[in-house]
């Protein structure tokens, strides 16, 4: 059973209305994600761990020593808590939620950013991150204004902290006029500065009429936009489908670029966070769903690609991810982009670019 933890009510559902954090201008962070029941997350029995939703062939790549070592990913989100799976690799942390940028110890009052960071970089072999060798830079934000400031800070400090990839598991409703879209402009500045930027498609597809629902900054043609794939809790691919709530593009805007695992994704739980209040005391992991979870699957994959080929730039990475993606049958392009993430194919293609 999955539980929707909206601020208004709880009810069982699948796949439900899980969502990336969606900001409104100057408004608090809003999340609507899914999680496993307390006893499942707390116990982590062999049966519970049999499927934690990760890209196929990930274990093979890790076995070859391809873990993202030497790569740094910046996570602009609700923060990153010093979870045991992450704390030794958080090389910088800044809080943008007040009137000025503050250097703080890593923290995450909500829990969303820790979950995202864990999908990228978690070091637990039983609940592995996609790139458990990477370093992390955490930026705590609570509004779109905060996010713009954080992105600009990442750009300014890219060289200081050797930041390669920017993970944006967040979004706002895209303004009709792109010139008024400050978040999109900030993400595009990051691309122009040489960062590889990955953003959420959003989870605003709540009815059959959900075209043109891609969030900003994912709406930008410059960023790598990721929708959520539902692997239906199986290791086979024949039943995979786009997550029902994952935002769709239009026939002509080319978004999302691809989809990645984004349902029932087990990853670190921030202690004393809003998410932890619904869990049994001592729980270390929880499962969430949404394009927020799909984005770090791709950000982690990019870290693996950069380990085998540090010379890749944003456009080359984007082209490789799209070219190697595996199209889903009977699924509109506006829902899946070029198809599901092929992590092994993407890393192999990156290596061939040497």
What does the alpha-carbon distance between residue 15 and residue 2 come to, in Å, rounded to a whole number? Answer: 8
Global confidence as pTM: 0.90
Among 33, 42, 77, 146, the active-site one is: 77
* Per-residue tokens: 188: 């595009």
DSSP state of 167: E
* % residues pLDDT > 70 (the chain): 85
- In the numeric block, the tokens 């029995």 are attached to 45
Confidence of residue 38 (pLDDT cuts 50, 70, 90): low
Confidence of residue 52 (pLDDT cuts 50, 70, 90): confident
Q: Which of 192, 174, 193 is nearest to 183 (CA)?
A: 174
Question: What is each CA distance from 331 to 179, 243, 336, 350, in whole angstroms?
Answer: 32, 11, 7, 27
For residues 286-312, give the mean pLDDT.
Answer: 96
* Per-residue tokens: 110: 């909500």
Q: Is 292 considered catalytic here? A: yes
Give the helix/strand (H/E) hosting 43.
helix 38-43
Q: How many residues does the chain have?
A: 354
Q: In this structure, how many other beta carbons lie within 10 angstroms of the beta carbon of residue 23?
A: 24
Q: Which of 279, 232, 216, 194 is nearest to 53 (CA)?
A: 232
- The answer to whether 338 touches 327, Cβ cutoff 8 Å, is yes
Q: Is 112 considered catalytic here? A: yes
Among 135, 246, 292, 314, the active-site one is: 292
Mean pLDDT of the chain: 87
* Per-residue tokens: 35: 């999680």
Among 112, 169, 216, 283, the active-site one is: 112
User: Can you list the domains of the chain with their CATH numbers?
Assistant: 3-346 (3.40.50.200)
């Amino acid at each position: 059973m999955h539980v929707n933890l909206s601020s208004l009510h709880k009810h069982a559902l699948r796949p439900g209305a899980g969502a990336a954090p969606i900001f409104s201008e100057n408004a608090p962070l809003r999340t609507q994600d899914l999680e496993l029941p307390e006893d499942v997350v707390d116990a982590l029995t062999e049966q519970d761990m049999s499927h934690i939703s990760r890209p196929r062939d990930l274990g093979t790549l890790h076995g070859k020593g391809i873990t993202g070592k030497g790569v740094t990913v910046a996570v602009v989100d609700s923060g990153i808590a010093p979870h045991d799976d992450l704390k030794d690799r958080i090389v910088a942390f800044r809080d943008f939620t007040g009137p000025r940028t503050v250097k703080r110890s890593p923290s995450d009052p909500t829990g969303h950013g820790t979950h995202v960071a864990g999908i990228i970089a978690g070091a637990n072999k039983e609940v592995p991150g996609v790139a458990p060798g990477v370093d992390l830079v955490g930026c705590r934000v609570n509004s779109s204004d905060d996010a713009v400031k954080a992105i600009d800070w990442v750009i300014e400090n890219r060289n200081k902290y050797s930041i390669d990839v920017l993970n944006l598991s967040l979004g706002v409703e895209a303004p009709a006029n792109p010139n008024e879209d400050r978040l999109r402009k900030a993400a595009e500045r990051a691309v122009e500065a040489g960062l590889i930027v990955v953003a959420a498609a959003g989870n605003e597809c709540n009815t059959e009429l959900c075209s043109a629902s891609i969030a900003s900054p994912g709406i930008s043609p410059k960023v790598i936009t990721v929708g959520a794939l539902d692997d239906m809790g199986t290791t086979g691919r024949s039943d995979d489908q786009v997550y029902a709530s994952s935002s769709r593009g239009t026939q002509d805007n080319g978004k999302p670029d691809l989809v990645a695992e984004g349902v029932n994704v087990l990853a670190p739980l921030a202690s004393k966070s809003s998410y932890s209040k619904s869990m049994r005391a001592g729980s270390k992991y929880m499962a969430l769903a949404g394009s927020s979870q799909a984005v770090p699957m791709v950000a982690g994959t990019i870290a693996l690609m950069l380990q085998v080929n540090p010379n890749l730039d944003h456009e080359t990475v984007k082209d490789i991810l799209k070219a190697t993606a595996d199209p889903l049958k009977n699924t509109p392009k506006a829902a899946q982009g070029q198809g599901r993430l092929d992590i092994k194919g993407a890393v192999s293609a990156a290596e061939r670019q040497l």
